[in-house]
Structure 1
Amino acid sequence: MRKSAAAMGSSVFMALAPGTVAGLVPWWLTRWQAGHWWLPVRVLGGVALAAGAAVLVHAFVRFVTEGLGTPAPVAPTEHLVVGGLYRHVRNPMYVAVVAAIAGQGLLLARPVLLGYALVAGAVMAAFARWYEEPALLRAHGTAYERYRGAVPGWLPRPRPWRG
């Protein structure tokens, strides 16, 4: 896949998947109406939301530049993506989406979003475990096995994997 096609496909997928999960559904649940929580908690939420958004953009860019593909299962990467933040954690996109949803919950003082973040995270973990990991093993074999053995799926390792 050419980088231009990968960039277009990734952009569409980003708008559809994370855009729905971390944007449309939280809006539907809250209409962006904020409650009243202690200001430092709301600031922490803003930081988590911004960090989640930055990590998500970084991860999508890695899929285009390193993987020559998209995160969408219908247009996967040609190469296993193991650079950048993927050297610290295997699922930075999912971690970022959960952080963004939880951040919105704290920022808006809306507990419903914190519950939704837990449910969304559980669904993403199940999808990663039961669909993505077997698909990556079939596509990339021992390279993925070695990567999976060295890099944690959900809690980032402090030092980057040098694989």
Structure 2
Amino acid sequence: MAQSASSARAWIGTGVFLFLAPGIVAGFIPMLISGWRPHDWGGAAWVVPVAWIAIVLGVAFLLHAFALFALHRGTPAPVAPTETLVVTGVYRFVRNPMYLAVLTIILGQALLFGSWWLVLYAAVALTAVVTFVKGYEEPTLTSTYGEQYLDYKRNVPGWWPRLTPWRG
């Protein structure tokens, strides 16, 4: 019973965090910036399917990465982390798939809505994320998981995915 309660809390917490963090960063703020008004690309209509592919792939990777945290009975939120280091699924290819997925969603919207303001917002978001990762997340993971995280960090790039999955 305790395990199912822990699992339920993990799924609920993960869902709430998904709504609050990426939902605001990749949904609400881009809506405020762009009004979600599609751009008329005219002769360059091929941009629209490219934009949608970026958005859909970003959402799919984001949901997959979030689900892995719930499956490990925790959340991506720093206040309710997993008990074990998450190094499965997309995390075998890149250490920061959630951040990359969010940036992909924002840039897909920038294309779809023809918004340079969203491109600028993506650059600001990237700067904030890298600062958070380097200043808080990596030191915290190192102190929490020690050599296990350092081995993972040595073998899996933070921002540019590996071509083959890490099997450490």
TM-score range, shorter chain: over 0.9
Q: Which runs of 4+ in 1 moved over 6 A?
A: none
Partner of 2:79: 74
Number of positions where the alignment pairs a residue of Structure 1 with one of Structure 2? 162
Q: Once the two structures are aligned, what percentage of the paired residues are identical?
A: 47
* Residue 10 (structure 2) pairs with residue 6 (structure 1): yes
Q: Show the counterpart of 1:48.
A: 54
- 2:19 alignment partner, one of 15, 20, 45: 15
| 1:76-95 to 2 correspondences below 5 Å | 76-95=81-100
Distance 1:45 1:159 in 2: 26
Question: Conserved in 2, the CA contact under 8 Å of 1:34 and 1:110?
Answer: no
For 1:46 and 1:118, how far apart are their aligned partners in 2?
20
Q: Which runs of 5+ in 1 are unaligned?
A: none
Structure 2 counterpart SS, 1:118? helix
* Alpha-carbon displacement from aligned partner over 1:113-152 (angstroms, at most 9, x marks no partner): 1111111111111111110000101110000000000000
How high is the TM-score relative to the length of structure 2? 0.94
Residue type of the alignment partner of 1:106: L
Are 1:130 and 2:108 counterparts? no
1:112 to 117, 130, 134: 117
Which amino acid in 2 is paired with 1:135? T
Q: Partner residue of 1:141?
A: 146
RMSD of the TM alignment (CA)?
A: 1.0
**Structure 2 runs not aligned, ≥5 long:** none
Matched residue SS, 2:19: helix
Rounded to whole Å, the distance in 1 between the matches of 2:9 and 2:167 is 29
Which structure has the larger Rg? 2
The answer on whether the counterparts of 1:42 and 1:109 sit within 8 Å (CA) in structure 2 is: no
Once the two structures are TM-superposed, the CA of residue 34 in structure 1 deviates from its matched residue by 2.0
In structure 2, which of residues 60, 63, 74 is the aligned counterpart of residue 57 of structure 1? 63
